[in-house]
Amino acid sequence: MDNFIFQNPVKVIFGRNQVASISAEIPKNSKVMLTCGGGSIRKNGVYDQVINALDSKPIEFWGIEPNPVFETLMKAVEIARAEKIDFLLAVGGGSVADGTKLISATIPFDGDPWEIVTRKVKPTKAVPFGCVLTLPATGSEMNCGSVITRRETKEKLSFQNPLVFPRFSVLDPTFTYSLPTKQVTNGIIDAFVHVTEQYLTFPAQAQIQDRFSEGILCALIEEGPKTLNNPTDYDSRANLMWAATMALNGLIGCGVPQDWATHMIGHELTAFFGLDHAQTLAVILPSLLWVQRDSKRHKLIQYARRVWNINDGSEAEMIEKAIAKTRTFFESLGLPTRLTALGATEDISDLIVSRFQTRNMLPMGDSKNLSADKIREILMQAQ
Ligand code: NZQ
Ligand code: ZN
User: Separation of 14 CA from ligand 2 center, angstroms?
Assistant: 22
Secondary structure letter of residue 151 according to DSSP: T
Q: Find the 93 Cα to ligand 1 centroid distance in Å.
A: 4
- What's the rounded Cα separation, in Å, for the pair 344 and 272? 9
Q: How far is CA 369 from CA 183, 296, 380, in A?
A: 33, 11, 18
38 pocket-lining for ligand 1 (C-beta < 6 Å):
yes
Q: How far is the CA of 25 from the centre of ligand 2 (A)?
A: 28
Q: Is 72 in the pocket of ligand 1 (CB under 6 A)?
A: no
Q: Is 101 in the pocket of ligand 1 (CB under 6 A)?
A: no
Dist. CA 319 → ligand 2 center (Å): 23
pLDDT the model gives residue 53: 98
Answer yes or no: is the C-beta of 37 below 6 A from any ligand 1 atom.
Answer: yes
Which ligand 1 atom sits closest to the C-alpha of 46? Answer: 19
Instruction: Report the pLDDT value the prediction gives residue 29, as an integer from 0 to 100.
Output: 94
Query: For residues 351 and 379, what is the distance between their CA atoms, to the nearest angstrom?
Result: 12
Q: Report which of 129, 171, 132, 140 is spatially closest to residue 53, judged by C-alpha positions.
A: 132
Query: What distance in angstroms lies between residue 47's CA and the mean position of ligand 2's atoms?
Result: 26
**Range 67-84 average pLDDT:** 98
Q: Decide if 327 contacts 288 (C-beta within 8 A).
A: no
Looking at residue 70, its pLDDT comes to: 98
Confidence (pLDDT) at 368: 97
User: Is the distance from the beta carbon of residue 35 to the nearest atom of ligand 1 less than 6 Å?
Assistant: no
Domains and CATH numbers, the chain: 11-175 (3.40.50.1970), 181-381 (1.20.1090.10)
For the full predicted model, state whether its pTM sits above 0.95: yes
Average pLDDT over residues 116-139: 97
CA–CA dist 118, 356 (Å, integer): 13
Residue 207 CB burial class (10 angstroms; 0-12, 13-18, ≥19): exposed
Model pLDDT, residue 59:
98
Nearest atom, ligand 1, residue 176 CA: 19
Name the β-bridge partners of 89: 34, 130
pLDDT score of 159: 98
Distance 81 CA to ligand 2 centre (A): 31
- Stretch 108-134: mean pLDDT: 97
Residues 6+ apart with CB under 8 A from 275: 269, 342, 344
How high is the pLDDT of residue 178? Answer: 98
Give 64 Cα–ligand 1 centroid separation in angstroms: 10
CB 339 within 8 A of CB 283: yes
Cα torsion for 232, 236, 239, 243, to the nearest 10°?
Answer: -100
Q: Which one of 65, 134, 270 would you pick to mutate in the ligand 1 pocket, going by the greatest count of ligand atoms within 8 A of its CB?
A: 134
Q: Give me the chain's average pLDDT, please.
A: 97
Which H or E run contains 149?
A: strand 145-150
Which atom of ligand 1 is least distant from the CA of 64? 1
Band the pLDDT of 340: cuts 50, 70, 90: very high
DSSP string, 66-105: SS-BHHHHHHHHHHHHHHT--EEEEEESHHHHHHHHHHHH
Backbone angles phi, psi at 33, to 5 degrees: -115, 125
Mean pLDDT computed over 150-154: 91
98 lines ligand 1 (CB under 6 A): yes
Place 231 in a pLDDT band, splitting at 50, 70 and 90: very high
Could you tell me which of 165, 172, 144 has the C-alpha nearest to residue 22? 172
Tell me if 142 CB under 6 Å of ligand 1: no
Q: How close is the Cα of 38 to the center of ligand 2, in Å?
A: 21
Cβ of 106 below 6 Å from ligand 1: no
Residue 113: DSSP 8-state: T
What is the rounded average pLDDT of the residues 198-225?
Answer: 98
Q: Which atom of ligand 1 sits closest to the CA of residue 175?
A: 19
Does 248 sit in the ligand 1 pocket, CB within 6 Å?
yes
Ligand 1: which of 96, 138, 270 to mutate, most ligand atoms within 8 Å of CB?
Answer: 138
Nearest CA to ligand 1 atom 33: 95
pLDDT, average across residues 213-242 = 98
Closest ligand relative to 138 C-alpha? 1
Give which of 132, 163, 128, 127 is closest to 145, Cα–Cα. 163
Rounded to an integer, the average pLDDT of 274-285 is 97
CA distances from 42 to 48, 277, 309, 382 (A): 7, 24, 44, 38
Mean pLDDT of 339-349: 95
